[in-house]
Amino acid sequence: MREARLTHPLTPMDPALEQHIERAAAALFDEQRADGHWVFELEADATIPAEYVLLKHYLGESDERGLEPKIASYLRRTQRADGGWPLVHDGAFDMSATTKAYFALKMIGDSPDAEHMRRAREAILARGGAANTNVFTRILLALFDIMRWDSVPVMPVEIMLLPRWFPFHLSKISYWARTVIVPLLVLQALKPKAVNRRRIRIDELFLEPPHSIGRPPKAPHQSWRWFLLFEFIDTMLRRIEPLFPAKTRRRAVDQAVAFVRERLNGEDGLGAIFPAMANSVMMFDVLGYPKSDPAAAVARASIDKLLVIKAEEAYCQPCVSPVWDTALACHALLEVGTKAAVDRAKRALDWLKPLQVLDVVGDWATSRPDAPPGGWAFQYANPHYPDLDDTAVVVMAMDRAEGAAGKFADNIERARRWIAGMQCDNGGWAAFDADNNYDYLNNIPFADHGALLDPPTADLTGRCLSMLAQLGDKPETSPPIQRALAFLRRDQRPEGSWYGRWGLNYIYGTWSVLCGLNALGIDSAAPEVQRAVDWLLSIQNADGGWGEDATSYKLDYHGHEPAPSTASQTAWALLGLMAGGAVDHPAVARGIAYLTNTQGADGLWAEARYTATGFPRVFYLRYHGYPKFFPLWAMARYRNLKTRNARVTFGM
């Protein structure tokens, strides 16, 4: 991204500001698909492209499409100067990502003696070797017979048969963990070996013989008390698992297969996320399903729909984001407000309307059986797993475009009832489930990533509050609103920020909550609002923008982790400040100037940094759409508030 020129801030009536808005809107128009929706690339780190390559070699598939050289080019380009691969742009070395990237490149045909491979190998060995990879990487290496299955925590497939009251049950973990683990249980029970026609191994990445490596150590987030208890259980399971009756094991495997089949989701895949989809493919393979079997075939086809193929490079996405991209683009264009922009937003909302999940009672109903279905999923299809964030954002756009009594009235009401029914007992909202806060489970050896659960968070709570408030709910008359406000006031950090689980990080969470508080009519002079506004003002960069680093998710967080300004984080800060009543503060004008000064000739913003979160500390996302609609939204909002001398009157 170019550095912002410290020019005089544009005034809202300046024709130049309108030109910036028009150019950004025109660029967004050009990205709209013929049927009305938007979908942009969703990029993670080197892990997913590497796993795609390794999956093909696990299955013994040939590179019939000639993608391997392109994926290799992508992997080489994203390698750090020190030889490793990071989890985010300009991030620190990550052992698991680096091990997988090296393995994939060697599998593709890169010589271990090549300079980039030598640097990667030296970086791995200098940090203790590939024995220090995470549990998911150990499982992959066990599938290739590089590490032993004894190096992996025990997860018996008989978990499928446990009653709900048991301390570990599938309903007690998050949707993403559930869909990843169920087919993985079958793999761990049957312990297949990869076809691996090239017989590629990576023993050179270990300081000791790979087959001598024991169980993984305690993860930093885990408590010794819980970890030692679960280690003892793991030890006992290793001894008794061989004694489990074969009949019981068959019944557990059958139940796992039934779970996967029910949620297979056509070519959108199990859970519509790559790790679960890949595990389902391997599960069908180890169970002997022929490639022509409809379930096995559709599972395999779903993987290739995640590919992004360009002239020189290719990579695999972790999932796709059409509903999220489309709903957010609608908000930006509704803020622009021209007839052309509004017409395009309405066409996109028409595309979204039939994607509402009204006829499938998903996994969320285990904890909320009385809530009627009515949500939207993140992807093209994922009916068992709609999420509250997408649903709230879609509803607010529909309401803004047509009003609660308009053509989307039934959709809005169904979604409202679902979201209201999904509130957690502590007053907050989570992404996919309610009361999914069994914290002790993040201490099991398998959960070294610390992301086994889907607890309520401030960003989701702020979003759901925004929707309910936009639809007319008020604190004085709504106990759910009162409970949510209490949750947010308890959750605010001393310096004034709120945590962002799904966007990076406290800037995102603070924007979300300020929008909700404003929509409820909370006075901008209220202590919680003023502290949040003051915090956003205090972290503005010298160039007028805002940035925050992924290190803000570290366990010993003590305050803002600065980073170079990005267009999307700057937009979130600006939208938050304007929701907090600070539109006239000079910092807002400087932030708008940063956006106008860094806008490209194509009307868009370059943004290489990752500003979204899959799992804090272990998996991050780069939404290619974020710098296309968030800066436009912020500039249009600024123009509208200043020219109309008004306050923000919508939930977002």
Give the H/E segment covering residue 115.
helix 115-126
Report the alpha-carbon distance of residue 333 to residue 389 in Å, rounded.
Answer: 19
DSSP letters of 296-359?
A: HHHHHHHHHTTEEE-SS-EEE-S---HHHHHHHHHHHHHHH--HHHHHHHHHHHHHHGGGSB-S
Q: Which residues contact 128 (CB under 8 A, 6 or more apart)?
A: 95, 207
Task: State the CB neighbour count (10 A cutoff) for residue 203.
Answer: 11
- Per-residue HEC secondary structure of 414-446 comes to HHHHHHHHCCCCCCCECCCCCCECCHHHHHCHH
Report the alpha-carbon distance of residue 593 to residue 566 in Å, rounded.
Answer: 13
Report the alpha-carbon distance of residue 10 to residue 211 in Å, rounded.
Answer: 64
Report the alpha-carbon distance of residue 602 to residue 598 in Å, rounded.
Answer: 11
Q: By the 8 A CB rule, do 617 and 450 touch?
A: yes
What is the SS3 assignment for 395?
helix
The verdict on whether 110 is a catalytic residue reads no
What does each C-alpha distance from 403 to 386, 396, 410, 519, 650 come to in angstroms? 23, 9, 11, 16, 12
What residue ranges in 453-536 does DSSP mark as E strands?
none
Report the alpha-carbon distance of residue 59 to residue 197 in Å, rounded.
Answer: 9
Point out the catalytic residue in the list 268, 285, 363, 389. Answer: 389
CA angle 336, 543, 14 (to 5 degrees): 40
Site of tokens 């913003």 = 605
- Find the length of the chain: 652
Would you name the residues annotated as active-site residues?
A: 389
